Amino acid sequence: MLVTGAAGFIGFHLCRRLIDLGEGVVGLDNLNDYYDVHLKINRLRQIARERNFKPVRMDLTDREGIAKLFKEEKFDVVVNLAAQAGVRYSLVNPHSYTDSNITGFLNVLEGCRHNGVKHLVFASSSSVYGANTKMPFSVHHNVDHPVSLYAATKKANELMAHTYASLYKIPSTGLRFFTVYGPWGRPDMALFLFTKAILEDRPIDVFNYGKMQRDFTYIDDIIEGVVRVIDRIPEPDPRWSGDAPDPSASYAPYRLYNIGNNNPVELMRFIEVLEDRLGKKAEKNLLPIQPGDVAATYADVDDLVRDVGFKPSTPLEEGIRKFVEWYREYYGT
């Protein structure tokens, strides 16, 4: 099995879980410097010596390298988690998003096409819901109004995967992740930024004047959903009709799922829980919403529950406690 983005937050946790399940895993990552490379290296150190794990340092844009890797390894399953992440960074460095998320994903699709991959699972994002305001967000809703380039590239991934599922019968499943958090999390995410600032007695930036709502989803719930989806290879949906096309399914072997906690939390409540776990109050800079951000996310996970029998449910208080414990141990604070 190939997992791309193996040194990333979700990729690392998925590799560790698959290794524990006895799966043979090739973990690919380019170890770029979008955020602290040492954190990525230290994630990999947790699993690098496992006999059923093979690390590969390579960029998805390396067309010849990716083609050779697929040809040599003959993967049955590919889980593509590698991407240029972050909504706000897409305003600063847009070309990195088309390189990694479009060109890189095309190389993955071509590898699947030419080497008989039995199931492609790929990361999408709740960001694809963009300007949609009907809650909860459902995979049955159209998502044609992105508000960031990052979201547009994730929507493009869904379209590209469907094209290959249609043309080449590659079973493909897209997963829309909702605000993932937990131990070993990304330093550019709110929980990490807030924790670091509060412990260093610095103010935190609170956008949209604290009126944001997010469907915060604990990393273990995300991984459980991914593992279950891996084993559910999509088939063409005989009920699908071009007269009333359902975006979540297809006449091709293709499916989309939300993986979210199904319980949006106001940002101020999120901060309160963090303050309680840290034993310190935060000084808050209340700021307007940033370009590319959306005011709220809320996942409808009915399809995930129906098809794989799982619904994320880790309480925010428990998830933040585990993150704070990890942070204090890792950074010695």
Measured in whole angstroms, the distance separating CA 229 from the mean position of its chain's CA atoms is: 14
Q: Terminus-to-terminus CA distance in the chain, angstroms?
A: 37
Question: Can you list the positions of beta strands (E) in 49-118?
Answer: 53-57, 77-80
Q: Which of 129, 150, 164, 254 is catalytic?
A: 150
Amino acid at 189: M
- Label residue 214 left, alpha or beta by phi (over 0 means left) and psi (-120 to 50 means alpha): beta
Q: Which DSSP state fits 102?
A: I
Name the 3-class secondary structure at 127. helix
**Cis bond upstream, residue 136 (ω within 30):** yes
Decide if 297 contacts 215 (C-beta within 8 A). Answer: yes
The letter for the amino acid at 17 is: R
- For the chain, strand residue ranges (E) read 2-4, 25-29, 53-57, 77-80, 119-125, 172-177, 180-181, 204-207, 213-214, 217-218, 254-259, 265-266, 284-287
At residue 163, what is the residue type? T
From residue 316, give the alpha-carbon distance in Å to each of 99, 220, 240, 257, 291.
35, 12, 37, 22, 27
Nearest-angstrom CA–CA distance, 7 and 109: 21
| Annotated catalytic residue 327 | no
Which residues are annotated as catalytic?
Answer: 150
